[in-house]
Amino acid sequence: MQISTLNSPLLLEGVNISSLINLMKFFTRILEMTQENNFIQDSTLLLATERIRMKHKNFRVIAYKLPNGQTAITVRQMAVAVQKPSKNAKEFLRITGVRPWKVQMPNRCITDMISLSTVAAYWKHLNESGKGNIQTRLGQQLLIDYLANQANHLTEGS
């Protein structure tokens, strides 16, 4: 194992340690947020209350507002919106320990949904691992902007 500190951040076999630490902190926070909401998803079927059409350049996705205050998209859309197989998205959720919410859609179908912050983490993971595409980049930017806007509205209201 080689460690280099030649006028640059600490590198471990070509991996930027500070980026790795930041990514781990990001995923840890996602898991904490999910665990805070697990009590809801374990005992209750949530109802999608509002449909939100999200668009950034040529990227589009439909999200839903849930009674727990979260905005979410389906696990299927988490993958299909960025032209990836659903099994890849499900594997990401399994590895990170994130469990989807069971949600009844307006058409009465029951589906698994994931918070936008988790979806953003998945698309960011694809982009940083070299498995992303233009859709993952546009989608990640859209969700980051949307979540930042939501956070600003929350802080302005308090």
Predicted confidence (pLDDT) per residue in 116-142, tens digit: 999 999 999 999 999 999 999 999 999
Buried b (16+ CB within 10 A) or exposed e, 18-35: eeeeeeeeebeebeeebe
Domain boundaries of the chain, sorted by first residue: 13-153
pTM assigned to the model: 0.70
Q: Residue 64 is which amino acid?
A: Y
pLDDT in tens, 6-28: 444 444 455 556 665 666 666 66
pLDDT in tens, 45-102: 899 989 999 999 999 999 999 988 889 999 999 999 999 999 999 999 999 999 999 9
CA 11 from centre of chain? 28
Distance, in Å, from the CA atom of 13 to the CA atom of 136, rounded to the nearest integer, reads 27
E strand or H helix at 116? helix 116-128
